Structure 1
Amino acid sequence: PTPTGVQIHPNFNNRKCMDVAGNRRRNGTPVQIFDCNGSSAQRWNIFRGTTRVQLTGTNFCLDAGLPSQFHNGERLKIWHCIDSIPAQIWDFTNQNQIRLKATESRRHPQCVDLPDGQTFNGNQLQIFRCFNGNPNQIWTTTP
């Protein structure tokens, strides 16, 4: 694993990146789509299988909120990484979905989702019911 992290892209679109809004490193900062610009706001540590999605070189993790909020449309943010809280444990599948691990046993697991597939700068990511092959839920990485 490289300490420099990776960029995370929506559906193989290497011009767009998962991004921490304004590179503001504080609890509750939105995680959005933005033009890839090489900044540290777009470098993540993520691994196949069970993983945290951690902003490289920081103690901030992709966070889905309280378990009562694990439903369609809950917007994603960063929060201080806390060991073993369900909001920060993901499953990066071989189908390139990033599933919220706590919901995988449900009939309808939740996935990191690009709202309406829109790649405009500032579109805040959400969780949404996983659908295999849904392009809004495909996430790819580059070094």
Structure 2
Amino acid sequence: MLAQLFALLPLLALTSAGPIAKRDGTLIRAGRDGQCLALEGLPGVMRYSQVQNGTPVITRDCLGANTWFINRGSGSITVPGTNFALDIGLTPGNNGALKVWQSYPGATQQTWYLTDDNRIAQTGGNQCLDEGDNGVQTYECTTGNTNQIWYIDGSNTPTPSASTSSAGPSASTTPPPPATILPQTPIYSNVIPDVPGAGQRIRPVGRAELCSSVDGVVADGSTVILKYCTEDGQGAALQVWDLPSGTGQVRLHGTNFCLDAGENPANGVGAKIWTCYDVPQQQFTYANNNLRTASNQCFNIQKESDGLITNKPFNTVARLQTWECSTNGDPYQAFGTSP
């Protein structure tokens, strides 16, 4: 496939992008480590219209990343709601930095080719987007280099080839592409940021406006549900948590109550809090966007409860529960902490 790509790229540089309909804005996720392509300085750089020529492009936690407009085939990769496009620069080379620049459709430095095997290469050149040790960079397109695999929306996940690269070692596993969750729950653009040092909100990946929240009072057995995030007051206090750096308790910030999976964790058991004790049911490992117990039960959104909304913002959006941890990246078990 890569040899065919190199043969096509010079020809594609002489033609305009094909008439493929643009996708809606979507995350662009690295196959190597599951990080997403993003503007540096989010969320403020978008919230306050501070995107400008030269704004760096990095990779970061997908929950806090912006979306992109991208075609399958040749064309520009642009930032929704702006006139800026992903730009490789006039003299691209290995270990090169990426940025956005005012969009000039057809400009060599802004024309990319999204291949059928999920690589993003400069049309007419030999450089690919590459997730190296220090984040995204440009690097010579190389057969079998899984640092150069990128997932676009619902694209198929290829079987990774074992390889090494000058850009850094490849991951042993590749996460699935991002998925849309809770389709019956309206999406709101107002994402509430966390306050440094005051706990973190546990948010579904792809739905950063939603938060895991204690329902009602802080007491033994109070359920934990999914709600729209609240900026201040009692509603906010019920949505901020102290998470372990490895394995440990998930504590409601400023309290002595912890997330509790119950004495016999099992599929469909509702999420709740309980007074913090050194017991197995309160030990969670937070890694790879999953909250997992030692018995292989994961924090999980009950998919069937989508559409429970009543009145924004203090309504129940969906129920939370424990469920056997997925082996194929179930998006209803994916949670992040960054806004």
TM-score normalised by the chain length of structure 1: 0.85
Residue in structure 1 matched with residue 206 of structure 2 by the alignment: 12
How far off is 1:13 after superposition? Answer: 1.1
Once residues 20 and 126 of structure 1 are traced to their aligned partners in structure 2, the CA distance between those partners, rounded to angstroms, is 13
The 8 Å contact of residues 34 and 119 in structure 1, kept in 2 or not, is answered as no
Say if 2:259 is the partner of 1:65: no
List runs of 5+ in structure 1 lacking aligned partners.
Answer: 104-108
Structure-2 separation of matches of 1:3 and 1:26: 24
Deviation at 1:119, TM superposition (A): 6.8
Question: In the alignment, is the contact (CA less than 8 A) between 1:16 and 1:34 conserved in 2?
Answer: yes
Specify the code of the residue in structure 1 equivalent to 2:266.
H
**Which residue of 280, 298, 304 maps to 1:86?**
280
> What is aligned with 2:326?
131
The TM-score with structure 2 as length reference comes to 0.37
Instruction: Give the RMSD, CA atoms, in angstroms.
Output: 1.6
Matched, 1:56 2:275: no
Match of 2:303 in 1: 116
Q: Give the Cα separation in 1 of the matches to 2:226 and 2:307.
A: 6
**Higher RCO, 1 or 2 (CA under 8 Å, sep at least 6)?**
1
Q: Structure 1 residues 119, 59: closer, same or farther in 2, change over 3 A?
A: farther
The residue that corresponds to 1:106 in the other structure is none
3-state DSSP of counterpart to 1:57: coil
Question: Matched residues in 2 for 1:82 and 1:124: separation?
Answer: 24
Whether the aligned pair in 2 keeps the contact of 1:97 and 1:112 (CA below 8 Å) is: yes
Opposite residue 71 of structure 1, the aligned amino acid is A
User: How many Å separate the matches in 2 of 1:137 and 1:14?
Assistant: 14
Moved over 6 A (4+): none
Which of the two has higher C-alpha Rg?
2
After superposition, the Cα gap between the structure-2 partners of 1:119 and 1:77, relative to the gap in structure 1 and judged at 3 Å, is: farther
Where structure 2 has 5 or more consecutive residues not aligned to the other structure, the ranges are 1-195, 309-314
Structure 1 Cα separation of the partners of residues 323 and 245 of structure 2: 20
| Compared CA separation, residues 26 and 18, structure 1 to 2 (3 A) | same
Instruction: Name the residue aligned to 1:21.
Output: 215
Q: Does residue 1:34 correspond to 2:227, yes or no?
A: yes
Give a deviation string over 1:65-97, Cα, whole Å, max 9, x none: 11xx311101110100002x011000001x211
Deviation for aligned residue 1:43: 0.5
Q: Distance in 1 between matches of 2:256 and 2:307?
A: 27
**Which residue is equivalent to 2:289?**
96
| Equivalent residue pairs, number | 131
Distance 1:74 1:54 in 2: 19
Q: Letter of the aligned partner of 2:303 in structure 1?
A: D
Structure 1 equivalent of residue 336 of structure 2: 140
Aligned partner letter, 2:297:
Q
Contact 1:71–1:128 (CA under 8 A) maintained in structure 2: yes
Which structure has the highest strand share of the two?
Answer: 1
Alpha-carbon separation, structure 2, partners of 1:54 and 1:119? 28
Code of the residue aligned with 1:141 in structure 2: it is T
Q: Secondary structure at the match of 1:17?
A: strand
Q: What is the rounded CA distance, in whole Å, between the counterparts of 1:11 and 1:19 in structure 2?
A: 16
